[in-house]
Amino acid sequence: MKKVKFILPLLLVLVLTLMIFVPQEIDSYAVQSSASGMCVIDQKTKRILYSKNENLALPMASTTKVMTAITVLQNCDDLDELIQVDDASIGIEGTSIYLRKGELITVKDLLYGLMLRSGNDAATALAIHVGGSVSGFADMMNELASKIGAVNSHFMNPHGLDHKEHYTTAYDLALIAGYALNNPIFKEVVSTKSHVIEATNKSDKRYLSNKNRLLSSLDGCCGVKTGFTSKAGRCLVSACERNDRTTVCVVLNCGPMFEESASMLNSSFVDYEYVQLIDKNREIYNEYIIDKTEGKLHLYTDEDFYYPMLKSEKNKVSLKYNVSLDDRLEDESVGEVQIFIENDLIKTMKLYTMNKIDKLIDSKTLQINEILWEENLNEDQ
């Protein structure tokens, strides 16, 4: 009996040891971040790939300038126009390109000073030029943010210096950056590693270097902006483009912002695969009955649809069709297809008929005014 009593505790210790040291199975898409708020999205579909406190309102320091730049670009037709710098743009707190009163400088050079050097004076000069005043420009920023869908953000200035009513969320800022990257001039500026502002009437040449280290260290990095204040902490909006896909990453108040952002951007291209869920060249049809005569309803979509998906999601996709049968000609919209991953609706697309549909008017015949059906996609499709 003494031996048994001795062996049982040993077995218990062994079991507990195995429970502690045997590696646990972890999902490949799980990521960790020290950021107060983090969000990684696919630019095209806006799908959230990774997130942490993505809807928490936080200060964002100079990453504000992503919104500043795109607001300027959408409201300024001539980027070669010369701006004369006034008193209001001189001596702004924080980083600067050291503008001088009366200096003549182009909008485009100010954009480079804004996004590469993070010049708060450049931000102010642009805001006054485009919006008439800093407050007027902030109104334009807020209007554009609402249009983009960044509904939990509020801008009070163009540079990002701390203000209690100046904030965004990681998700909103990712949406804003994804939107801005569709503008070719914005993309050109934020992906530039260095730029020279030629001598002006008040200054010698200015040599600018981009503060975003990922441009030199991360394959496919295409921008976009760093930021820091004591209140906001270290902030970074970054983007990476590989194989015709662009992923946008936002970290707010994140010490190792470059390291964590690079890790998550790299992971996004491994964990998620772009899968074609709708092929516009594929004919969709459903059998139906009119006047007790069997026939086929031929339909199509007018665009392809690709979506970033985890491997585990590929066999969880379903397509639900909702079609109204009434008097329609060819190439007219007759309904829609909804695309689901399990119970989550990810996309709704219009359906068009490839054949004429005659109106059903004989009440004595079998009539189907609306048809619904579902199609499950599997991993092989």
C-alpha angle 231-236-242 in degrees, rounded to nearest 5: 170
Residues 6 or more apart whose CB falls under 8 angstroms from that of 227 comprise 60, 61, 62, 63, 64, 65, 118, 160, 234, 235, 236, 237
Half-sphere exposure of 215 (CA within 13 A, CB side): 21
33: annotated active-site residue: no
Residue pair 307/346 in contact by the 8 Å Cβ criterion: yes
Q: How far apart are CA 127 and CA 119, in angstroms?
A: 12
- Which residue of the set 118, 191, 238, 261 is catalytic? 118
Sheet with 370-377: strands ordered across: 284-290, 293-300, 344-353, 333-341, 317-324, 370-377
User: Is 28 considered catalytic here?
Assistant: no
Does the annotation mark 101 as catalytic? no
Out of 33, 36, 62, 268, pick the active-site residue. 62
Structural tokens at position 159: 């540079």
Pairwise CA distance, residues 22 & 3, whole Å: 28
> Which is the catalytic residue, given 36, 51, 52, 65?
65
Contact call for residues 346 and 47 (beta carbons, < 8 A) = yes
Alpha helix (H) residue ranges in the chain: 2-21, 65-73, 107-115, 120-131, 134-148, 170-180, 184-190, 214-217, 257-271
Q: Are 325 and 286 in contact (CB under 8 A)?
A: no
208: part of which helix (H) or strand (E)? strand 206-209
Counting Cβ atoms within 10 Å, is residue 14 exposed (0-12), middle (13-18) or buried (19+)?
exposed
Contact between 179 and 153 under an 8 Å Cβ cutoff? The reply is no
Q: In 3-state terms, what secondary structure has residue 187?
A: helix
| Degrees to nearest 5, angle at CA 188 with 184 and 192 | 170
CA distances from 71 to 76, 185, 312 (A): 9, 12, 40
Positions annotated as catalytic residues are: 62, 65, 118
